[in-house]
Amino acid sequence: MQVGIIGLGYVGIPLARRISQSGQGVTGFDIDAERVSGLNGGRSPIRHIADAEIGAMLAHGFEATGDFSRTAECDALIICVPTPLGKTREPDLSYVVSTMESIAPHLRAGQLLSLESTTWPGTTEEVLRPYVEHAGLTPGVDFHLVYSPEREDPGNPDFDTRSIPKVVGGSTAACLDAGVRLYSLFIDRIVQVSSTRTAEMVKLLENIHRSVNIGLVNELKSVTDRMGLDIFEIIDAAKSKPFGFTAYYPGPGIGGHCIPIDPFYLTWKAREFGVHTRFIELAGEVNAAMPRYVVDKLITALNERAKALRGSKILALGIAYKRDVDDTRESPSVFVMELLREWGAEVHYSDPNVPVFPRMREHNFDLASVEVTADSLASYDAVLLLTDHSAFDYGMIAEHASLIVDTRGAFRDMPANSKVVRA
Ligand SMILES: NC(=O)c1ccc[n+]([C@@H]2O[C@H](COP(=O)([O-])OP(=O)(O)OC[C@H]3O[C@@H](n4cnc5c(N)ncnc54)[C@H](O)[C@@H]3O)[C@@H](O)[C@H]2O)c1
């Protein structure tokens, strides 16, 4: 088998690594020339994948390229390109469409094409299939078309690409069979569903489930806070129930390329069917209000110390969207930093995984990560814990910061201390 992975990012690279480990041939395709040459030079663009692992893939024949005519050399093609939202929060399928434009001239009989990017139910049939048919191919007859959602959880040490069960839906029964045969070569457990639409909807259910439940605990956090109760203590106790409860934790909002975005793919498609997805909108509203909630808590805490936010020096701890990753996409920390800047604060950040503030489409901070030391902590009017990386020295922060606004419950076990404010 020669498998082509199109889109060498957080999803595509771990998948390429797993396929390479299984002994199949892998070619990686990407439009980012720097990324292609970096990978061919043995450099990993992702913090949790070591350069040595890229080296091992290269030793097993992996190659990255920007030459899409080489997709014809592959028996199977797996698309892992971004599926963001546009400015008005409608699905932006332009990356998927441009991928299809690049590969359509090279599609040939006998190939299998799988879409893994998260998207609205119907994308594989309504967007991909016409390209296949225009190439003179018929899914289920001389070509196979499937959808199989990616379930990568960066930074989670308990699961890897191989052990995470893989849902597969086919355009036809023969497509499904071919998809199951392909993924069985490198994934332990395959879960078959009746159609590509079903498989697309499975992924959305998973992410909507998270978004709605995180929205719920974020709302409950503001209630328990008013009541003087600790939401983290309550969740930990509730979690002792051995059935019917799943723990979700509050925070400064939601981030990453999935949870803040994917639910709105369904909202958009549901409108075509005259259905309003109110739970999704409500969770989105609650979660999107969290950065403002955090800033309000900071303003109040500074006010109690006779300080204004304008002119205060604030250190944001953690700009990755979640613990122990280096991904800052849609990170609520960045929204908090934007608000602080708008209010006239002098904002700095520290993140052991993000040494320099990355280039982002909608945010621009010319900053590098500040080293967290006793002296640097003491020089800020407040530190704001936004992402609870395990590399932070929480004891030192508690000792030397003059005011801590904690959005993650990282300081809840520390002795009662008026300088820690929950947000
Ligand atoms: N990151 C995650 O944890 C995660 C988890 C599950 C699902 N997903 C889904 O997987 C998809 C990919 O996400 P990601 O996080 O890997 O994105 P990413 O931004 O890390 O990587 C995407 C890669 O695709 C490349 N690319 C863009 N357009 C291309 C094109 N036309 N042809 C070839 N390459 C192209 C980019 O240069 C980039 O290297 C998205 O639909 C996302 O929702 C992501």
Query: Is residue 206 within 6 Å of ligand 1 at its C-beta?
Result: no
Instruction: Determine what percent of the chain is predicted with pLDDT higher than 70.
Output: 99
Query: Is residue 6 within 6 Å of ligand 1 at its C-beta?
Result: yes
Residues whose CB is less than 8 angstroms from the CB of residue 171 and which lie 6 or more positions away in sequence, other chains included? 124, 125, 129, 139, 140, 144, 145, 146, 195, 196
Task: State residue 163's pLDDT score.
Answer: 95
Query: Is residue 36 within 6 Å of ligand 1 at its C-beta?
Result: no
Query: Is residue 8 within 6 Å of ligand 1 at its C-beta?
Result: yes
The pLDDT mean for the chain works out to 96
Q: Hey, which of 10, 15, 323 would you mutate to test ligand 1's pocket, going by the most ligand atoms within 8 Å of its Cβ? A: 10
Task: State residue 155's pLDDT score.
Answer: 75
Q: Which pLDDT band holds residue 98 (cuts at 50, 70, 90)?
A: very high
Query: Is residue 11 within 6 Å of ligand 1 at its C-beta?
Result: yes
**Cα 13 to middle of ligand 1, angstroms:** 10
Please write the tens of the pLDDT for every residue from 364-421: 899 999 999 999 999 999 999 999 999 999 999 999 999 999 999 999 887 666 799 9
Task: State residue 157's pLDDT score.
Answer: 84
Residues whose CB is less than 8 angstroms from the CB of residue 167 and which lie 6 or more positions away in sequence, other chains included? 148, 149, 190, 191, 193, 199, 202, 203
Whose Cα sits closest to atom 13 in ligand 1? 82
Closest CA to 350 of 380, 307, 310, 395: 380
Please write the tens of the pLDDT for every residue from 207-246: 999 999 999 999 999 999 999 999 999 999 999 999 999 9
Please write the tens of the pLDDT for every residue from 112-126: 999 999 999 999 999
Give the mean pLDDT of 187-208.
98
Query: Is residue 82 within 6 Å of ligand 1 at its C-beta?
Result: yes
**Cα 116 to middle of ligand 1, angstroms:** 9
Residues whose CB is less than 8 angstroms from the CB of residue 233 and which lie 6 or more positions away in sequence, other chains included? 412
Task: State residue 414's pLDDT score.
Answer: 73
**Cα 81 to middle of ligand 1, angstroms:** 4
8 pLDDT higher than 90: yes
Q: Which pLDDT band holds residue 87 (cuts at 50, 70, 90)?
A: confident
Query: Is residue 152 within 6 Å of ligand 1 at its C-beta?
Result: yes
Query: Is residue 81 within 6 Å of ligand 1 at its C-beta?
Result: yes
Q: Which pLDDT band holds residue 152 (cuts at 50, 70, 90)?
A: confident
The vertex-81 CA angle with 78 and 82, nearest 5°, equals: 150
Q: Hey, which of 5, 8, 11, 69 would you mutate to test ligand 1's pocket, going by the most ligand atoms within 8 Å of its Cβ? A: 11
Query: Is residue 83 within 6 Å of ligand 1 at its C-beta?
Result: yes
Q: For residue 74, indicate whether it is catalytic.
A: no
**Cα 92 to middle of ligand 1, angstroms:** 13
Task: State residue 416's pLDDT score.
Answer: 62
Please write the tens of the pLDDT for every residue from 257-279: 899 999 999 999 999 999 999 99
Give the mean pLDDT of 157-181.
96
Atom nearest to 96 CA in ligand 1: 31
Task: State residue 415's pLDDT score.
Answer: 67
Q: What is the pTM of this model?
A: 0.93
Task: State residue 417's pLDDT score.
Answer: 65
**Cα 317 to middle of ligand 1, angstroms:** 27
Residues paired with 4 in a beta bridge:
27, 77
**Cα 12 to middle of ligand 1, angstroms:** 7
Indicate the burial class of 97 (C-beta count within 10 angstroms; 0-12, 13-18, 19 or more).
middle
Residues whose CB is less than 8 angstroms from the CB of residue 228 and which lie 6 or more positions away in sequence, other chains included? none
How far is 372 from 378, CA to CA, in rounded Å?
Answer: 10
Give the mean pLDDT of 173-177.
98
Atom nearest to 35 CA in ligand 1: 39
**Cα 343 to middle of ligand 1, angstroms:** 34
Please write the tens of the pLDDT for every residue from 32-77: 999 999 999 999 998 889 999 999 999 999 999 999 999 999 999 9
Contacts 24+ apart (CB under 8 A), 247-250: 248/210, 248/213, 248/214, 248/216, 248/217, 249/214, 249/217, 249/408, 249/409, 250/214, 250/217, 250/218, 250/220, 250/221, 250/290, 250/407, 250/409
Atom nearest to 99 CA in ligand 1: 31
